[in-house]
Amino acid sequence: MIDSLAEYQSPSMITDTATRESLNAFITKVLQGFSIPGSDVAKYFADPDVAIAGSGLDEYFMGAEAVQYGVTWVTTLNIRWEPRLVVSWMRGDIAWEQIRVDGHTIENEEPTIVQYVATGVFQRNRNVDGWTWLYWGGGEPQKVARL
């Protein structure tokens, strides 16, 4: 389930319901693909300028080939990615979102939910899915900031 921040307003927020729902459905589909080993989710990261910066020290990928390799690797981690809160903005054909995600995993043989926050940048296109992912930057929030 994707929630939103009803009290937050910005001139660039996506107010068109169909556009917002289309982008949220795309994000949900991609995160579901992240959760399935061997899925074809990497195809959504095909733009030649796409980039990813994850929370790990070596999670930096630039360009379609490297990013698709990284996305395919993520599908092997046995994490179920579930979007929880999404705030969306758009100018022209470029949209960006803050995405709060629950990462369902196993730690010490116990089911665990790891909070994850990502920024996604997307370009609207005319293919069947309607969107191309241009940038993913994410990390695990900490109770006490170190920087």
Strands 94-107 and 110-124: antiparallel
- Structural domains of the chain in order of their starting residue, each with its CATH number: 17-139 (3.10.450.50)
Q: Would you state the structure tokens that stand for residue 71, as one six-digit string?
A: 């996305």
* pTM of the predicted structure, to 2 decimals: 0.86
User: Which helix (H) or strand (E) covers residue 132, if one does?
Assistant: strand 131-139
pLDDT of residue 7: 66
| pLDDT, tens digit, 9 for 90 and up, residues 57-115 | 788 899 999 999 999 999 999 999 999 998 899 999 999 999 999 999 999 999 999 99
